[in-house]
Amino acid sequence: MKKTFIPVILISLFCCIIQAQTTSTRVNNPERPKLVVGIVVDQMRWDFLYRYYSKYETGGFKRLLNEGFSCENTMINYIPSVTAIGHTTIFTGSVPAIHGIAGNDWYNPKTGKSFYCTDDSTVTAVGTTGKGNKMSPRNLLVTTITDELRLATNFQSKVVGYPSKTVLPFYLPVIIRLGLSGSMMLPVNL
């Protein structure tokens, strides 16, 4: 009985392996969206989206809430909750200890100087002058969702950032959100 049982088990396993190798399961790839919009309203509580729902236009925030994705009732597990850390955490899905942005500005003990989180003396932005032209996401240690979008499309997608104001501190969230491989930032007054 033992001698016939082992070959039967082996033949059964072999057949299962062959079947598993030849069976083709078709994976349904969902249709990719044509446009992805990320909106972050600094210091706005998530429940305000619903508190003022009746005041929204049909094609505006109502459409975004009904057809889009909204990350609600989240918990901030870091302190301080400042602009740079918040936007970086949202767009990287990581915490300051991992993504590297520890505040809007911080002190570097190696240089003995304090600096802005997007300061970068190695770059010069096109079309700008002054302090605002020496900024990049260089201090960001991980990729953002926008970087991952570019990677997933073999760098065919475009990632464009629009700051809400052209005043220097308002560049910061856009520089971070564009990530390490953003296409361009277009400063505009909204």
Ramachandran sector of residue 143 (left: φ over 0; alpha: ψ -120 to 50; beta: rest):
beta
Mean pLDDT in the chain? Answer: 77
Take residue 24 and report the two structure tokens written for it.
């083709």
Residue-wise pLDDT tens digits, 67-81: 888 777 777 788 888
Residue 6 pLDDT class (50, 70, 90 cuts): low
To the nearest 10°, report the CA torsion of 31, 174, 135, 182: 10
| 101, 107 Cβ separation under 8 angstroms | no
pLDDT number for residue 140: 92
Residue-wise pLDDT tens digits, 135-146: 888 889 999 988
pLDDT number for residue 108: 84
Average pLDDT over residues 36-50: 80
Take residue 49 and report the two structure tokens written for it.
């989206």
The model carries a pTM of: 0.72
Q: Mind telling me the catalytic residues? A: 83
On the question of pLDDT at 47 being above 80, the answer is yes
Residue-wise pLDDT tens digits, 151-182: 888 888 888 887 766 555 556 778 888 888 87
On the question of pLDDT at 40 being above 60, the answer is yes
pLDDT number for residue 20: 47
Amino acid letter for position 88: T
pLDDT number for residue 168: 55
pLDDT number for residue 21: 47
